[in-house]
Structure 1
Amino acid sequence: MSASVRRIERTTRGRVLSVERMHADGRDVNRIKVMDDSGRVRVYVDDPQQQRGRDARARGDDD
């Protein structure tokens, strides 16, 4: 989970608000809520088993 947080922090340069492990599509994924520079909250879903170099998917602007 900490690797997912570091990856999202590095990619988005935002502030991580929360992290939650969940089950989706038969896999365990990390749901990470991030606040960007303008104060918008975005939710990313990171699959820790994905190959490195692939970006996490954003689910929406806020939750």
Structure 2
Amino acid sequence: MLSNNNVEVKQETRNHKGFFIEQGLYKFMGIDQSGWALICVDEATCHYVDPDNLERVEELMES
């Protein structure tokens, strides 16, 4: 799966509370039992979002 990879969110992505979240780079932490994806900017700023709103960021260092 995407575990511990960098992801970006699609435009107009909302969190589980219905609020829009900022586009940018997030760390994918996993998917909980209810189906929400947990993504974090840092240790203090995380969001639950619909996994369909995530786009994987390919690492530039892949060979």
Considering fraction of residues, name the structure with more helix: 1
Considering fraction of residues, name the structure with more strand: 1
> Whose RCO is larger (CA < 8 A, sep 6+)?
2
TM-score by length of 1: 0.32
TM-score by length of 2: 0.32
